[in-house]
Structure 1
Amino acid sequence: MAPYHIRKYQESDRPRVLDLFYKGMAEHAPTTFRHLLKLPQTLVLLLGGPLALFLVSGSWLLALVAGLTLLAALRFLAQYPWTQYVSNCLRTDMRDISKSYLSEPGSCFWVAECEGQVVGTVGALPAGEPTLRKEQLELLHLSVAWEHRGQGIAKALVRTVLQFARDQGYSEVVLGTSMLQYSALALYQRLGFRKTGQCFPSVINRLTAILIFHLTYRLPSAQVSQAPGQRQDL
């Protein structure tokens, strides 16, 4: 038996859900910082800037301060897209989780619970404008507490969304994830999601060279053709 169970969100879960959300986003800042340090333009800036300042001023101390200031600016830049994402979500869907996800039959929010504590989350909302015929369900806010990873919780949460989408009559499940979320990207692809596009959704993404991948899972009922007797598992 799994050491956790998945259930629908309740209002009493909100503090823990938001805590997981904050921590999950904060985890990406160090990865982003390392990514920025590897960019050619960053190396030119970090090496060339202080060196040029030294050649002009003749002061190694001034050059050192300039280098440290640039590193601090890069660290802020690495945190910025994630803090902005959190801020935006708290103004929109995460402001009132019950209203956003549980007030309509075609959406939902789940938590994974272990020993009475919420250790994982995932949500699902119709993608784009509502239509008469359900097309795409968007998977959102997949997160698992660090100490509970490696137990299959994330996989179970994604499969919960896929099953919900099939039960609700959706054709596809879609999501967006950054190129730096390596483990999440690998999980989605193992479960059958396929890359269908990529973009820089904002100026900050373009400046930091962080692509956002768009992934799609076509539900079995939406397959154009399937061999007789062929079985497709979620």
Structure 2
Amino acid sequence: KPQIHSLPMAPHHIRKYQKTDRKRVLDLFSQGMVEHIPATFCLGLKMPQTYLVLLGVPVALLLVSGSWLLALGSNVILLVFLWMLARHPWRQYVVMCLQTDLADINKSYLRDRGSCFWVAESGGHVAGIVGALPVEDAPPGRKQLQLFHLSVALEHRGEGLGKALVMTVLQFARAQGYSEVVLETSMVQQDALTLYLRMGFQKTGEYFFSKVFRLLGNSTIQLKYCLPSAQEGGP
């Protein structure tokens, strides 16, 4: 398992969230979620039931009406419906977060010592975000910290900001005496999933966040990182 070391010098700076960051942070979060809509749509297209509907409905309409125009038009309508279906859970999640933990970031993340919210600055601008909150219903004998809202601006990807932000959470967790860092991501967030696995996170479970995601085949993947101090019996 990778050890947690101090981050090397890099052309970015990670610091705690400030109130002046609010608009940029919310924009990064919202954009980061909405960008998964196309991948979710494509995943839905690959589902067997989607093939059946896209093939069956036009054929049935053609046999009944004899109109190719009606048959082709039905496919367009079905594709638009699938796009709206793929978009709905992501937009719903954004609204939910904006009304809960992101409604007041200072209150949610910076009021207690055991939680925090960070931003990564690159070129003088906020280019990445991540938050962490203690797990209230952690299993007995475990002190867990949950990572939330990791997002990096599209134009700053490939600069190591995502890894640096995750390392910041791991360092914070170890300093605060947590035994594990847990998080959830989705099947369509392949870049994030690859990053977590490379950094030593292990898959612990999988479920569907909503009925729509179940229909589209986009599962939520649960991951866990066991901190070295917990394994070694260190402080």
Indicate whether the TM-score tops 0.5.
yes
Q: Which residue of 2 aligns with 1:98?
A: 106
- 3-state SS of paired residue (1:223): helix
Question: Does 2:232 align with 1:217?
Answer: no
CA RMSD of aligned residues (A): 1.8
After the TM superposition, which parts of structure 1 deviate over 2 Å for at least 4 consecutive aligned residues?
Answer: 128-134
Cα shift at 1:225: 6.9
Q: Residues of 2 paired with 1:28 and 1:121: CA distance?
A: 17
Q: Which residue of 2 aligns with 1:232?
A: none
The equivalent position to 2:28 in structure 1, one of 12, 16, 20, is 20
* TM-score, normalised relative to structure 1: 0.92
Q: Which residue of 1 aligns with 2:181?
A: 173
What number of residue pairs does the alignment pair up? Answer: 226
Q: Residues of 1 paired with 2:232 and 2:159: CA distance?
A: 35
- Return 123-132 or 158-167, whichever deviates more: 123-132
Preserved contact between residue 138 and residue 144 of structure 2 (Cα < 8 Å): no
Q: Residues of 2 paired with 1:101 and 1:39: CA distance?
A: 39
The equivalent position to 1:67 in structure 2, one of 72, 75, 79, is 75
- 3-state SS of paired residue (1:125): strand
- 3-state SS of paired residue (2:128): strand
Preserved contact between residue 134 and residue 169 of structure 1 (Cα < 8 Å): no
Q: Which residue of 2 aligns with 1:149?
A: 157
Q: Which residue of 2 aligns with 1:115?
A: 123
Q: Residues of 2 paired with 1:134 and 1:5: CA distance?
A: 31
Q: Residues of 2 paired with 1:225 and 1:134: CA distance?
A: 13
* TM-score, normalised relative to structure 2: 0.92
* Structure with more contact order per residue of length (Cα contacts < 8 Å, sep ≥ 6): 2
Q: Residues of 1 paired with 2:140 and 2:193: CA distance?
A: 31
Preserved contact between residue 101 and residue 124 of structure 1 (Cα < 8 Å): yes
Identity of aligned residues (%): 61
Preserved contact between residue 117 and residue 132 of structure 2 (Cα < 8 Å): yes
Structure 1 unaligned blocks of 5 or more:
227-234
- Return 149-158 or 131-140, whichever deviates more: 131-140
Which whole-Å deviations, capped at 9, do the CAs of 1:115-154 have from their partners, x for residues lacking one?
2210000000011348998711000000000111111110
Q: Residues of 2 paired with 1:113 and 1:90: CA distance?
A: 22
- 3-state SS of paired residue (1:128): coil
- Return 47-56 or 121-130, whichever deviates more: 121-130
Q: Which residue of 2 aligns with 1:53?
A: 61
Q: Residues of 1 paired with 2:168 and 2:155: CA distance?
A: 21
Structure 2 unaligned blocks of 5 or more:
1-8
Which whole-Å deviations, capped at 9, do the CAs of 1:192-223 have from their partners, x for residues lacking one?
10001111132122111111110000001111
Q: Residues of 1 paired with 2:215 and 2:97: CA distance?
A: 22
